[in-house]
Structure 1
Amino acid sequence: MSDYDFELPDARIALRPAEPRDAARLLTSYADGRLEDRIVRDLPQILAPGDRLVVNDSRVIPARLVGERLRPAGTARVELTLLVEDEPLRWTAFAKPAKRIGEGDTLRFPVPGGVVEGRVEARTGPTVTVRFAADPLAAGAMPLPPYIAAKRAPDARDESDYQTVYADPPGSVAAPTAGLHFTDRLFSALAERGIGLSRVTLHVGAGTFLPVKTEHLNEHEMHAEWGTVSAATVAEIAATKAAGGRIVAVGTTSLRLLESAAGEGVLAPFTGDTRLFIRPGFRFHVADALLTNFHLPRSTLLMLVAAFAGLARMRAIYAHALRHDYRFYSYGDASLIFADPR
């Protein structure tokens, strides 16, 4: 695990995005080991006509609920992060602190002009199942990552800042953060350059922030995330590759979903859950480049980057970012990593 650990000063954790979004810094890593300090707005010049971006268009839902647990003996403050709506008004959620919540408890969350109540049907470790009397999203706020939420509360700016400009189907409880850097102006410049755009959907779960705690990576269990890759997107990617263009996965979520859909080595339409854990030794079939933010130490996302770039190259990228004051995590700067074609 020491291969995936590093020290990061708190001051380097971005609490707000760059303004404008496409002014974020972009550390570009080429297959020969060269590193260039660019900005996201340079993408049309870095990429070539005929290349294609693949973005994750999942929309973040207001999944963070703060309220109270009701018991005859008294109340207690509780927080939920909604994960999956198993059936109408019945949600699986992470609870904090989970030890304050038990089966049969009533939870109450404020909404304008009233409250939304829910009854706890089950609890397993940090996860609870709650049946609500009304839509709990009415009581929700943007589910900022724990390292931001620990420093400040979500506010009105986050409702737009923590959402990509192309977000469509709702379902994520964490933003596909590489996509936060894009603007309509940048997409126009990319299109004028002849760079294509395709969409996939992967609803990101809260497990994306969880560190790996097992000593051996093959013992780590990934949380399931639902995604879909359409036949149209598969055809667009195939045509791009046939013409000699490169596929640029925008974010680790897009990359994981594309590789899940290419489980047999050939990209095919896909709909369903994925638990794919990409780590060094993984053989990639679809993406030629990865655009991604700088990730948490000991996280599965950092291991994915090491698998794509190679462990030594990943270390060099992060060492450069630390030396040159790049901003880290969800609201931070980005890297563009070109795969070694070998």
Structure 2
Amino acid sequence: MKTSDFDFDLPERLIAQHPLLKRDESRLLIVDRKTHDLTHTTFKSILDELTSNDVLVVNNTKVMPARLIGQKEETDALIELLLLEQQNGLWDALVKPGRRVKVGTIVSFGNGILKAKCVFEKEEGIKSFEMIHEGIFYEVLDQLGQMPLPPYIHERLEEKDRYQTVYAKEIGSAAAPTAGLHFTKDLLLSIKAKNIPIIEVTLHVGLGTFRPTTVENLQDHHMHEEAYSIGEKEAEMLNDAIKMNKRIVAVGTTTVRTLESNFKDNQFHSGASRTSIFIYPGYQFKTIGALITNFHLPKSTLIMLVSAFSNRDLILKAYNEAVENEYRFFSFGDAMFIK
């Protein structure tokens, strides 16, 4: 299979530039994998699609204000860092413009409140930095950093929390798990009232999720590792769901990748790990029975994962119908429920 097999035409006007006033009033396209029926509704009606035989699994990662704009100490040249993750005391980041930052370069932010010293260069444009600061790093980052909105969003985000899910807890993501942006606290309470457990897992979104595919042959695409974890209680709840033959409804592709990576020897395991799983058509799913997801970029690993869960022709048919019906696309856009 090739990357071009997952291309589709999308008018630029349909790329959502801002979130809706009310999270759960976005549109929802329901895709039935058995009948191939497509149903148009609103997101709050997801409640009608869920039963007491379901468990809902969400990714509770929290987005860092990961975009930092500072100055190179030697020349005052403007440098932008997009923090990805911390490993062994150093921070991996994408740098713009990368050619201006070499090993030993120091970039200063907030008149020196924070300094980033480039320690070494990795593959694919990633560089590792030692962060020099006083106090708690995340407090400094909250003061100086900006929310890392995707490059196709050109409008200013008025409320930073709108790029967070209402259940975001564990800070560490460089992008939001956007399928979860549609849920409100009231909607979650209504789901619990139907005796549907809501299970939280964590995958910190990084390059593995949002970096585009640049090769035509899928087997040549390199997925970057992302950190994930599942708590002891949550692993037990998931294993109970498997034993009781309940339907696991995953909220977002990051949740899918967490569950599918973790499930080994016919059970879920608690603890922290890392995954570089790449799911595309031909993959045999082991855990999930339904998926809530946004509309993804053409030729992205995310539309490939969604196609693997359904099938490519049905997903492209659904995407084309969404375009015809003027759905809003990508991070702040509308949603799909694939059952």
Matched AA of 1:127: I
- In the TM superposition, what are the counterparts of 1:108-257 in structure 2 within 5 Å? 108-110=108-110, 115-124=113-122, 125-134=124-133, 135=137, 137=141, 138-148=143-153, 151-153=154-156, 155-157=157-159, 159-257=160-258
Q: TM-score scaled by structure 1?
A: 0.91
2:98 maps to a residue whose letter is A
Q: What's the CA shift for 1:118?
A: 2.0
State the secondary structure of the residue aligned to 1:146: coil
Residue 32 of structure 2 is aligned to residue 30 of structure 1: yes
CA RMSD across the alignment:
1.7
> Which stretch of structure 1 is more off in the superposition, 264-273 or 200-209?
264-273
Q: Which piece of structure 1 moves more, 203-212 or 301-310?
A: 203-212
Distance of 1:6 and 1:101 partners within structure 2: 36
Match of 2:71 among 68, 73, 76: 68
1:249-307 per-residue CA deviation (whole Å, 9 max, x = no partner) reads 00000000000011445433352110000011111011000000000111111100010
Q: What is the 5 A alignment of 1:75-90?
A: 75-88=76-89, 90=90
Structure 2 unaligned blocks of 5 or more: none
Instruction: Give the number of aligned pairs.
Output: 329
- 1:248: Cα distance to partner? 0.3
Q: Which position in structure 1 is the counterpart of 2:13?
A: 11
Task: Report the equivalent of 1:100.
Answer: 100
**Amino acid in the other structure paired with 1:186:** L
Q: Is the 8 A contact 2:239 2:267 kept in 1?
A: no
Q: The residue matched to 1:222 in structure 2 has which SS?
A: coil
Gaps of 5+ in 1: none
Corresponding residue of 2:287: 286
- Report if the CA contact (8 A) 2:208-2:276 is conserved: no
- How far did residue 244 of structure 1 move? 4.2
Please tell me the residue identity of whatever aligns with 1:132. Answer: M
| CA distance in 1: counterparts of 2:186 and 2:146, whole angstroms | 28
Give the stretch that moved more between structures: 94-103 or 275-284. Answer: 94-103
Partner SS for 1:147: coil
Q: Give the distance between the partners of 2:197 and 2:40, measured in 1 at CA.
A: 24
Q: Distance in 1 between matches of 2:40 and 2:242?
A: 28
Q: Which moved more, 1:114-123 or 1:317-326?
A: 114-123
- Is contact 1:85-1:91 (8 Å) kept? yes
State the distance in 1 between where 2:207 and 2:276 align: 13
Task: Note if contact 1:266-1:285 (Cα within 8 Å) is conserved in structure 2.
Answer: no
- Distance in structure 1 (CA, Å) of the matches to 2:232 and 2:38: 36
Name 2:57's counterpart in structure 1: 54
Question: 1:167 aligns to what SS in structure 2?
Answer: coil
SS at match of 2:127: strand
With the length of structure 2 as denominator, give the TM-score of the two structures: 0.92
How many Å separate the matches in 2 of 1:313 and 1:241? 27
Kindly indicate whether the alpha-carbon contact (under 8 Å) linking 1:60 and 1:163 is maintained by their aligned counterparts in 2.
yes
Q: Percent identity?
A: 39
SS at match of 2:56: strand
Contact in 2 for aligned 1:143/1:174 (Cα 8 Å): yes
1:310 aligns to 2:311 (yes or no): yes
Q: CA deviation at 1:207?
A: 4.0
Decide whether aligned partners of structure 1 residues 37 and 200 sit closer, same or farther in structure 2, where only a CA change above 3 A counts. same
Per the alignment, residue 45 of structure 1 pairs with 48
Amino acid at match of 1:277: F
